[in-house]
Structure 1
Amino acid sequence: MIQHPLPPFSHSSALKKALRLLQANKRLYIPTCLILLTQLILVGGTRLYPHLNPSGMSAESLSMLVACAGLVASLISNYFSLVLILQVLRLTERAQEEGHEQANPYKVALRKFIPLLLLSLMLLLGIGMGIVLFIIPGIYLLLRLMFAQYTFLEQGGIVRSFKESWRLTEGHFYTQVVVLLVAFGLILLGAITFGLGLIFIQPLVTLYLVTYYRYLQGTAIEQIDEPIA
């Protein structure tokens, strides 16, 4: 464990660690591929169905159908994103007992999906209001509460998750600005390759963010993938 106060966070070391963990855990590509597949089906169906329109739907009905399909695809994508986060959190967790059988992340994600939707909506509402007001408050809230989802998955409780994220991020504002810029830059890089690059980029970014989260909890980067004694 890192002694407090925490030493400076090394973004390059965190990215290297994330890359090594991804290379050693190819299963992390599975939920990412499922996310991309869901989005491709939605995009393809949205473009093809209006031309086929076998049932002769009106423009209003067709628009409603497309909107519903988009909502369903968004929920499915969020579910698989949650599975990916759960896998990475478990991969980087060193406090668990050796040999302890863990629940299937797909089942856990399904069980916690609705509460996490509520948590995400609360976050979006708070951050959105902050951005509408003066922009800076919204960004500040985003930085302070960016790990509420992680803490909820590990500790449970929406209010507790907000408090824990707020506690962990105290005094790390500028470091987190860089963390978000790095993550955004990587996602943008994956997006410009027609989205295919996200198959690699999304798990890499998740590993990078969770590595920083573990750092805030007091785990040194080099200790993250050490076997449990």
Structure 2
Amino acid sequence: MHTLSVGDCLRFAWDTFKQRPWILIGALLLSMIIAGLPQVFAPYPTVGPDGQIIPAPVSTWGTIVSLVSLFVSIGVSLGLTTFSLRAHDNIQAVQITDLWNPGPFWRFLGAHILTVIAIALGFIALIVPGVILAMGLMFVPYLVIDRGSGPIEAMKESWRVTKGHKWQLFLLFLALIGLNILGAIALVVGLFVSVPVTMLAAAHAYRTLTS
């Protein structure tokens, strides 16, 4: 049985980040810009004569922009997951172009929807089952990209490889949340360090449990 260590994940992530910080920061910044592009065309609230904010009316255009924004955000998540795996495996060879990986888009989208539904149902039932499901399905997107698994297959395999490790994964999750809170406190600029480190630490946890 593989042993998952929160300290090992964080150390590996930090050591890898230090080797090529600008490629990681650049990939994150480009992803943020792409994810925000659809919102440029979204209808915005207006301010009335009395100073009250008038919400943007519901319109066909607004619905289209929302759908495009959803698909773009899924594509960005797919790209960042792909990038983090390749950066983990060979930080010297990873390129910005590794963000582009449209092949598994529909499988990735399907897996995302099913995972969100499963976790949401777990939280509706009780908070603890929701947390357990979130930890057990943590590696679904990685399996879709790394092994070409379908949504159901990825969910089953993620649940299998995380068996006996959910507590360690939860501790890792808490550590990464804390790291990103510190990044946000550091004038937000710190997020350009904490987020790539988070991505690499999660990828390392995945590789550790599936190697």
TM-score range, shorter chain: 0.7 to 0.9
Distance 1:117 1:22 in 2: 28
| Cα pair distance change 1:132/1:39, threshold 3 Å | same
Aligned to 2:112: 120
Distance 2:27 2:73 in 1: 9
Aligned to 2:83: 87
Distance 1:76 1:62 in 2: 21
Pairing partner for 1:37 from 12, 33, 58: 33
| Cα pair distance change 1:45/1:190, threshold 3 Å | farther
Measured after TM superposition, the shift of residue 49 of structure 1 is 6.9
Q: Aligned partner of 1:145: which letter?
A: L
RMSD, aligned CA: 3.3
- The answer on whether the counterparts of 1:88 and 1:206 sit within 8 Å (CA) in structure 2 is yes
Measured after TM superposition, the shift of residue 134 of structure 1 is 1.5
Measured after TM superposition, the shift of residue 107 of structure 1 is 3.8
Aligned to 2:159: 166
| Cα pair distance change 1:116/1:105, threshold 3 Å | same
Matched, 1:10 2:5: yes
| Cα pair distance change 1:160/1:46, threshold 3 Å | closer
Distance 1:43 1:189 in 2: 28
Deviations 1:33-74 (A, max 9, x none): 0233356667787797736xxxxxx95536775665455345
| Cα pair distance change 1:76/1:191, threshold 3 Å | farther
Q: Aligned partner of 2:8: which letter?
A: S
Distance 2:30 2:12 in 1: 24
Correspondences of 1:144-163 after superposition (within 5 Å): 144-156=136-148, 157-163=150-156
| Cα pair distance change 1:192/1:50, threshold 3 Å | farther
Pairing partner for 1:175 from 145, 168, 175: 168
Q: Aligned partner of 2:129: which letter?
A: P
Q: Name the SS of the counterpart of 2:103 in structure 1.
A: helix
Correspondences of 1:196-215 after superposition (within 5 Å): 196-215=189-208
Normalization by structure 2: what TM-score?
0.77
Q: Give unpaired runs (5+ residues) of structure 2.
A: 48-53
Distance 1:155 1:40 in 2: 29
Distance 2:74 2:192 in 1: 15
Measured after TM superposition, the shift of residue 148 of structure 1 is 0.8
- The answer on whether the counterparts of 2:85 and 2:203 sit within 8 Å (CA) in structure 1 is yes
Pairing partner for 1:24 from 19, 41, 45: 19
Q: Aligned partner of 2:7: which letter?
A: S
Aligned to 1:132: 124
Q: Aligned partner of 1:37: which letter?
A: I
| Cα pair distance change 1:63/1:164, threshold 3 Å | same
| Count of equivalent residues | 200
Distance 2:187 2:42 in 1: 17
Q: Aligned partner of 1:158: which letter?
A: P
| Cα pair distance change 1:187/1:76, threshold 3 Å | farther
Identity %: 26
